[in-house]
Structure 1
């Protein structure tokens, strides 16, 4: 949960007071097709992710009254496939009384199947939401719970809230999970300005005991937010499971997330890397506050984050979510590292969501620029590219997306063989919308046997690039002109696109 208005103003170049809702014309050219956006009005952090009755439940920070930050509540949507979303009524509204206001800030939700909380009815356990209540009049944040006995459609606040209150201004974003070895709930929550994650334990979700603190570590130049922790097997081996601790904060180039790999014994998290080591989740300039579905089918851990859009304004909505990402840990030459890939539930059914693979090529030689789209296909800036490129002697190779007719404005996505980096170059197209430091974004990736794999997801105003099977990711926002829809493959010399598939997602 981002609360500091000055930070938002300087890093996102938006005003939280903004223009009136009806003063911003609709911007359908930037409304994503296969990424989640609310039907209207503001969204930021994803919250309360649970999988229930065959549906992914997504709660999210939401202003149900206007298209700017404020009146923080939990919006709600659900999906069977992580592509098509049903918008549901607001699940938890801000609380306003004569004496106080409670904004419903970020948090998590759990299915209390054994009714440890006692909130269930008729022998069925409830859903319990755990979140930060922000009390602006009291200048503090505390941890609240609410419960639902109607499958998460509505929630009732616990009458003895808050359940944890340290009388602190910046203390937020609880994420809770069941730790079976000790038969208790574990909470991670952010001690923002101390750059620490605090661990609490509870048997009933109501009474919490402090267990330990982790931090400071990694990046500490700005406050820590939105912590969460997941167990992941290394190389798919459940006998070698490590914990990944995620933290969001703002860096020199804007929003960022870092992660730590370690062990957790039910009380304390032990980092396997030196304390000063920073591991980035995403090398772009907009991915933030991500948390995961812990209980997805096949025991998948699926991460989804807020893609922060600054300027220009969008309407009638503001903010969107990333593509959901399957998470895994793998051994690398640098140690155990996080890998992320678009969720298999989506990739396994791409042809169902799209118009089919409009382009499918093997061993395609490319020299210079080769146009890929036309009047009837791939002409709406919503597509999905999967390519394996053999750069050969080409220093740069990849794709030009969202290009205008004369190529004066374009976005270049590719691999730089000289620097061994995947990159996104927005320098001719996004000068008015980005900090100059973010016009070129890069992430270190080595080709494997002379081949680099790129997944490029373009969706109207978002761009996500996955390098080498999710070894590194770059996510950013783009705002092409309505007629800037050109798509080409390119190589600075001659490269061979060993495989190339493109799906048109503008269904």
Structure 2
């Protein structure tokens, strides 16, 4: 029995130990064990495939496999056999990577991590079973240019253009900064280094991970998961975070030229390692709804890790706007709509808004208030709140009173646009997460929560008058 078969056997014997009520309603999780980065997000044979960094044996990071699932609607998932397991075909753990469809072939490229050395390999499959194209990595450390070693060389992103395969990977240079290296191949076996697509000038953390590179509209986007970022005003925050650059791609020199500074992809506490795909005329993105720095998992949990609900990306100037993928709408039930005037210092509660699995859309029109607070997943003891300062044009999100039992980052404030006293919020609430989309997704904040499920109210409080229009769509 190889390691894939052992993982599948363990999964089959233990998955029933977790009740559906102990999981999110519409956010993807592993059936059991640990997951981190989404991998191989792709469209193959009419279905969306999602692979993910997976340790079936524990709720903590461990020997890295690739879990595998597929879906047509991002809510109902078919669990497939483990796609990759450590030490099966090539010695080493199966770290992150990506996938593409090439006619009838589903191509995976990923990092093999062995003895603190990282190299890239390729497997080809039919949507369930995959086979390595070589018994050793195809982009080895011997392909690296001067100034780069085999430590921190990972997370390949593959695409095909004009009958040539291209692959970027993150690599740490001899100054300790991340660079994005570009390779090309005509057959997936023989790869050639062609240049540095883009490199860290020291302004964006240290090591870079999980690069994503794609065309959006008529521009190119480079997305980086940054390690060791330092906060600057409200544009960036400390630690792990995701930055994107918008610009042009000079194919003759293999260089990405950004139009300006990098921008924060998601301002929340729990968003990392996003992957994109283009299908059906739209660009989708999904990320790990978690964070390396804050271990909030309950001690008696049997699973750990979830993904954001996939988002549709669009470009407005040089800004990415993101909103939940439209597939969610087919799962709406118990629709409810209301409008009201919120009066000064009078808390407003409408029990018809109660839910722990729903999308809420708020259209807010200020009359004479300075501050508005929305208490989500609330009761008399618990809440996570959004506080909006209408004059200063800021939004603060707090999960301080959400039931956290561990010390963690719990509040973040960002700048937002409020035009003529108006703004919109869309909020995805699930049993263990909140995703906030400001002004049709110009800014987004994502957070885990571990709040008792009977905390299901929304409460409103302001220091003046506002008109609020609310739509609720419960999700099943």
What's the TM-score, normalizing by structure 1?
A: 0.81
The equivalent residue for 2:107 is: 128
2:175 is the alignment partner of 1:175: no
The equivalent residue for 1:272 is: 258
Unaligned runs of 5+ in 1: 1-21, 114-124, 234-240
The alignment partner of 1:446 has SS state of coil
CA 70–128 in structure 1, closer or farther in 2 if over 3 Å, else same: same
Question: For 1:84 and 1:27, how far apart are their aligned partners in 2?
Answer: 16
2:186 is the alignment partner of 1:203: yes
Query: Structure 1 residue 81: deviation in Å?
Result: 0.8
Task: Number of aligned residue pairs: give it.
Answer: 436
Is the 2:384–2:402 Cα contact (8 Å) retained in structure 1? yes
2:289 is the alignment partner of 1:311: no
CA 490–27 in structure 1, closer or farther in 2 if over 3 Å, else same: farther
2:401 is the alignment partner of 1:428: yes
Task: Give the CA RMSD over aligned residues.
Answer: 2.4
The equivalent residue for 1:236 is: none
Unaligned runs of 5+ in 2: 1-13, 142-148, 231-237
The equivalent residue for 1:378 is: 354
Is the 2:100–2:158 Cα contact (8 Å) retained in structure 1? yes
CA 147–161 in structure 1, closer or farther in 2 if over 3 Å, else same: same
What's the TM-score, normalizing by structure 2?
A: 0.86
Alignment of 1:349-498 (within 5 A): 350=329, 352-357=330-335, 359-362=336-339, 364-367=340-343, 368-373=346-351, 378-379=354-355, 381-404=356-379, 406=380, 408-429=381-402, 432-435=405-408, 438-497=409-468
Alignment of 1:29-428 (within 5 A): 31-95=23-87, 101-113=91-103, 125-135=104-114, 138-148=115-125, 150=126, 152-166=127-141, 168-180=150-162, 183-192=163-172, 193-213=176-196, 214-217=198-201, 219-233=203-217, 241-250=218-227, 251-252=229-230, 253-266=238-251, 267-274=253-260, 277-294=261-278, 296-297=279-280, 299-308=281-290, 310-313=295-298, 315-331=301-317, 336-346=318-328, 350=329, 352-357=330-335, 359-362=336-339, 364-367=340-343, 368-373=346-351, 378-379=354-355, 381-404=356-379, 406=380, 408-428=381-401
Question: For 1:478 and 1:330, how far apart are their aligned partners in 2?
Answer: 31
Is the 2:373–2:386 Cα contact (8 Å) retained in structure 1? yes
Question: For 1:220 and 1:460, how far apart are their aligned partners in 2?
Answer: 34
Query: Structure 1 residue 312: deviation in Å?
Result: 3.1
2:470 is the alignment partner of 1:500: yes
Deviations 1:433-466 (A, max 9, x none): 353xx32212221123421110011111111100
Is the 2:404–2:450 Cα contact (8 Å) retained in structure 1? no
Is the 1:174–1:190 Cα contact (8 Å) retained in structure 2? yes
Is the 1:46–1:59 Cα contact (8 Å) retained in structure 2? yes
